[in-house]
């Protein structure tokens, strides 16, 4: 009888800590006119949990989500009214690419690659970023670095 209560209390304590950690990221977001509310933090945690379950992933702590918030807060394409929703989509994409590349890309390297494309060629469009990151993952799995062409692509240019 005591064990279920303890587990329930522990679960709430961990969620409260995760919310607190995400809200701490406001120190990075507020200088850019962006703020996460407690409801936004709960949304991001729900998206994270769903993505982790969908991709059969386990993650201790919310460090990747916090890093994503910190890095993307500086994007010129982030808007206050859609900040949490955009972060939710970016978080889901992050876990999709982590899974697709079998965790062989570090969190910060992947987040920086996402932001570079988001701010650059994708102009802040999530769907374009999704396509660009899927290509990035495909090239990574093939052993190519971004911008490097495969032999098939080189042959196509020579024709």
- Rounded to two decimals, the pTM is 0.83
114 within some domain: yes
| 59-84 pLDDT tens trace | 989 999 999 999 999 999 999 999 99
20 within some domain: yes
Q: Enumerate residues 6+ apart whose C-beta is below 8 A from 28.
A: 69, 70, 73, 74
6 within some domain: no
| 79-136 pLDDT tens trace | 999 999 999 999 999 999 999 999 999 999 999 999 999 999 999 999 999 999 999 9
Q: Enumerate residues 6+ apart whose C-beta is below 8 A from 61.
A: 18, 21
Q: Quick check: helix, strand or coil at residue 117? A: helix
Q: Quick check: helix, strand or coil at residue 83? A: helix
149 within some domain: no
As a residue count, the chain comes to: 159
Domain span at residue 106? 11-142
148 within some domain: no
**Domain count for the chain:** 1
32 within some domain: yes
């Amino acid at each position: 009888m005591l064990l279920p209560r303890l587990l329930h209390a522990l679960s709430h304590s961990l969620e409260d800590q995760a919310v607190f950690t995400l809200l701490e990221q406001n120190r990075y977001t507020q200088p850019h006119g962006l703020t996460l509310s407690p409801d936004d933090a709960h949304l991001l945690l729900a998206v994270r949990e769903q993505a982790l379950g969908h991709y059969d992933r386990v993650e201790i702590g919310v460090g990747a989500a916090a890093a994503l918030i910190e890095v993307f807060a500086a994007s010129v394409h982030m808007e206050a009214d859609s900040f949490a929703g955009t972060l939710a989509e970016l978080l889901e994409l992050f876990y999709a690419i982590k899974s697709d590349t079998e965790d062989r890309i570090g969190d910060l390297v992947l987040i920086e690659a996402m932001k570079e494309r988001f701010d650059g060629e994708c102009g802040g469009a999530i769907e374009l970023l999704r396509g660009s990151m899927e290509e990035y993952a495909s090239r990574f799995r093939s052993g190519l670095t971004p911008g490097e062409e495969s032999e098939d692509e080189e042959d196509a240019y020579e024709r």
